[in-house]
Structure 1
Amino acid sequence: MHDPREGVTPQGTIRTGARRQAVSPVHEPVLRAAVDAVAGRCALYLYGSVATGTASVPTSDVDLLSIGLTAAEARRIAGSLSARFRDVCRELSIGPAGWDQLDEDGDEAYGLRVFLRHYAVHLHGPDPAASLPAFPADVRAARGFNGDLARHVGRWMTALEQGEDPARLGTRVARKTLLAVAGLVSVRDGTWTTDRRSAAGRWGQLEPQTSVESLVAWLDLPPTDPAAVQAALAGPVAAVTEAFAAEIGRWDV
């Protein structure tokens, strides 16, 4: 869901509506269970529509980020909590990150710090985001968020060749590509947004020959035909990837 508070401050830094007090009471049992499940092992953050108070029950996801959990631990805990709270959320996900990433100098680490500072609500454990400054809404932040788009495209093509379910793959393609579109729109318009739908509409005005509306449709109704995913990868996804690399850049590592 769109965060109506997202944008740019008068000082030129990123502004969002992510805050602890925005969380709906209906999601509090989910968050308590997640904290209990990871107790003592990591830092845990909430992000997404639940963090901005714009989530819908039970169709929105509960999105968590951990620092310190292994990928296997994150998948196991997320799977268990998703099943337990299916009446509250569509799915609970936990993205794993490492402590060492916070101190690195590259684009990926910079993007993580920006994300923690502006989009993540602290739930448990040490809170490195508390000491981070506000970050500028600029090209570097956009690159930190989506400079890995070309890498994802390669993985998507491999997954398609290996017969992955087109609905699951198409959803990933749409979400990541449209987030990159939001970065392009932000840089071109001198603003800041991660809202996929509004960014796609603006992109259609800026680049009418490169429509991404088919990807927007996949946010609600994922594709069932692998050929549709193949066409998207060769068409709008390739165009967005090329534009992003030229105007914003790719990760430096």
Structure 2
Amino acid sequence: MERRGLDADGYIEREGSLGRIQPAFAELVAAARGRLVEAYGSRLHSAYLYGSVPRGTARHGVSDLDLLIALHREPADEDRDTAEVLGRGLDQDFPAIDGVGILLYGKERLLSEGERYDLGWFLACLCTPLLGADLAEHLPRYRPDGLLARETNGDLAVLLPRWRARFEAASEPAEFRRMNRFFSRHLVRTAFTLVMPEWGGWTSDLTESAEVFGRYHPERAAQLREAAAVALAPVGDPAVARRYLDDLGPWLAAEYTARHGTKAPRPEA
């Protein structure tokens, strides 16, 4: 029987582990662990890996390193500056990766009721413990239902104006490349969670996500397959982002709101 990322009771299984990290990324992860402790000291509650590195699917020189950092208190500007310096240093020192993404939150927000089906789910199901006590021990188990769909990606309509502003401000191919990767990932994951309750499972694989979506919306299947390809091998063509902003993004936002409703408002990160 196909498990579709669920355990025997129908809950989403936690993906990734330190044991799945490929040898090419082992030194990078060890350096990240050491630099996190040095950078945050007693302010650090815990840290987690997510994405392709802990899933064991990272590609040398192509994939990025993704980190979630939980502090004992809400982060201040100093903490965000530290994260930027940390990420830039890891990116410069390790050619195995192409960029570092860091999410930075206080532990109380990660465990809050308002984030239970968004950041809480993300930590409990998609993040691999790297340092400190695992906050997932204080969170419930999750099913791939409509509530999870709404609270994870039910804000695309709110995000699109910000994406457009970012697009209009960009001018360099490197900016468009980063933008295309980010937009593509977000749209593919949103498209997947649109149909996730019907499919009845979870996957973080972008190619599989696009294929699952295409079963329910064949008229948009080709667009999602293209977006998944760009997410994995980003290009610097601004026309890619423009198509997302003019067509796929608005359609997906409207469809999502109609089917799952709108994500509850969150405080700005």
Question: What TM-score bracket applies, with the shorter chain setting the length?
Answer: 0.7 to 0.9
Q: Cα distance 1:218–1:58, how it changes in 2: closer, same or farther (>3 A)?
A: closer
Counterpart-to-counterpart distance in 1, 2:152 and 2:177: 24
Q: Cα distance 1:224–1:57, how it changes in 2: closer, same or farther (>3 A)?
A: closer
- Counterpart of 1:129 in structure 2: which amino acid? A
Relative to its length, the structure with more helix (as a share) is 2
> Is the counterpart of residue 181 in structure 1 residue 195 in structure 2?
no
- Counterpart of 2:128 in structure 1: which amino acid? V
Query: Counterpart of 1:226?
Result: 238
Task: Give CA deviations for 1:119-157 in whole Å, capped at 9, x if unaligned.
Answer: 211111332123333222222222332223223212111
CA contact (8 A) 1:181 1:196 kept: no
Q: What's the RMSD between the two structures over aligned residues?
A: 2.3
Choose from 56, 59, 70 the match for 1:53: 56
Structure-to-structure mapping, 1:56-75, within 5 angstroms: 56-68=59-71, 70-75=79-84
SS at match of 1:45: strand
Task: Report how far residue 193 of structure 1 moved.
Answer: 2.2
The runs of 5 or more residues in structure 1 that have no matched partner are none
Task: Give CA deviations for 1:79-111 in whole Å, capped at 9, x if unaligned.
Answer: 00111111x2222322212223124222x4431
Task: Give CA deviations for 1:144-191 in whole Å, capped at 9, x if unaligned.
Answer: 322232232121111122235332222211110111011123122222
Structure-to-structure mapping, 1:72-111, within 5 angstroms: 72-86=81-95, 88-106=96-114, 108-111=115-118
SS at match of 1:8: coil
CA contact (8 A) 1:60 1:89 kept: yes
> Is the counterpart of residue 129 in structure 1 residue 136 in structure 2?
yes
Counterpart-to-counterpart distance in 1, 2:170 and 2:130: 38
Task: Report how far residue 5 of structure 1 moved.
Answer: 8.0
SS at match of 1:209: helix
CA contact (8 A) 1:5 1:15 kept: no
Query: Counterpart of 1:213?
Result: 225
Counterpart-to-counterpart distance in 2, 1:161 and 1:56: 31
TM-score (norm 2): 0.82
CA contact (8 A) 1:112 1:144 kept: no
Query: Counterpart of 1:15?
Result: 13
CA contact (8 A) 1:147 1:250 kept: yes
SS at match of 1:97: strand
CA contact (8 A) 2:12 2:201 kept: no
Counterpart-to-counterpart distance in 1, 2:204 and 2:257: 18
CA contact (8 A) 1:183 1:193 kept: no
- Counterpart of 2:99 in structure 1: which amino acid? E
Give the stretch that moved more between structures: 44-53 or 57-66. 57-66
User: How many residues align structurally?
Assistant: 248
Task: Report how far residue 216 of structure 1 moved.
Answer: 2.6
The runs of 5 or more residues in structure 2 that have no matched partner are none
Q: Cα distance 1:27–1:230, how it changes in 2: closer, same or farther (>3 A)?
A: closer
Task: Report how far residue 228 of structure 1 moved.
Answer: 3.9
TM-score (norm 1): 0.87
Query: Counterpart of 2:170?
Result: 163
Query: Counterpart of 1:30?
Result: 28
**Sequence identity percentage:** 29
- Counterpart of 1:33 in structure 2: which amino acid? A
Choose from 239, 246, 250 the match for 2:258: 246
SS at match of 1:191: coil
Task: Report how far residue 192 of structure 1 moved.
Answer: 2.0
